[in-house]
Amino acid sequence: MTSPITIRLGHKARQRIAAEGVLAADVAIVPAAAGGPKGLILHGFDCWLFGDFLRQAPRPRKLVGASIGAWRMAASAFDDPVAAHKRLARLYASQRYPKNVTPEYVSRTCRALLDELIDGRAREVIGHPHHHLSVLTARGAGALANTNGARWREMAGFLLAAVGNAVSRNRLAASMHRVVFHHAGDDANWLRERFDAFDGRFVELSAHNLRDALLASGSIPLVLQAVTDIAGAPAGAYWDGGLIDYHLHLPYQRDAGLVLYPHFNDYIVPGWLDKSMPWRRARDQALDNLILVSPSPDFIARLPNAKLPDRKDFKVYGQDNQRRTRDWLSAIGESERLADAFARWCERPDLNQAASF
């Protein structure tokens, strides 16, 4: 039977695995992409990774995510990560929206979801002794610096950003800055030295800003409201971190450890606006230490509707929330096969089964 997973390795990761195998102690960074409901397909992998594999070798690790990836990594930093991931999957799959939904309604719903996920235990997440969370957000600049919540201003600002990005990703930096909300015990130094065109701001996570940072990281323009007045952060409008860091093309080469990246695609796209530009997919030294694990085409073909859950499902299923939730939960259940397959590969790594970047 065809494997349910696809594995891609950077050349240094390949050399290290050939010499030592796959050791939990070698894993230094776990990234998590933006992508909305697509992230649900990694539920089983997350439960195994944080509930079993990485517990074999406790050590400081960088957990970095944008949008649903940030929510997943926050769940991973609870004292009981498996229970938190199950809570996140249930809450996310159970979202309900009226036919003519407004950004205000969606923001209010997601805020309540995060409150239930955090469950009054923010200090567990921000104070985890080993899992150092970084939440990526995009803070509006230029035309997006102060839209005052006006929809037409947001539309005009994001249209200007999209036009600039189409010319060059560097031009997107005129429309937004990267703001990293990071674990109090980790100053996020590996991200502080500039590695692309975007200005960086760094804010320490606290019990007062965790929920809002996570909400901002998932606030899709025109779908949710911008998040403002985040405790400890520079003033401004904060949006989905995936606008800048969709698949998290970050300077992973700055850490000597391995980067274990469970992902819903077998490639890395820098920003959300780069999705339709395959020539912008990452192929540089940042991927040298990377292990990218993703669902195989055969696995996806066996899912409901032969595809990953995605945000379009809210429109495709309409008000048939019961059927959408059923199909999403079915996909979530299948995700355990991804973890089982990778766990077997880790026990006896066959490098011939792993592609290169």
User: What pLDDT does residue 186 have?
Assistant: 81
Which residue range is the domain that position 143 belongs to?
5-356
User: What pLDDT does residue 146 have?
Assistant: 80
User: What pLDDT does residue 285 have?
Assistant: 95
Q: Please count the structural domains in the chain.
A: 1
Distance between CA atoms of residues 295 and 185, nearest Å: 33
User: What pLDDT does residue 149 have?
Assistant: 75
Please list the ranges in the chain whose pLDDT falls under 50.
Answer: none
User: What pLDDT does residue 1 have?
Assistant: 64
CB neighbourhood size of 304 (10 A): 17
- Does the reported pTM lie above 0.95? yes
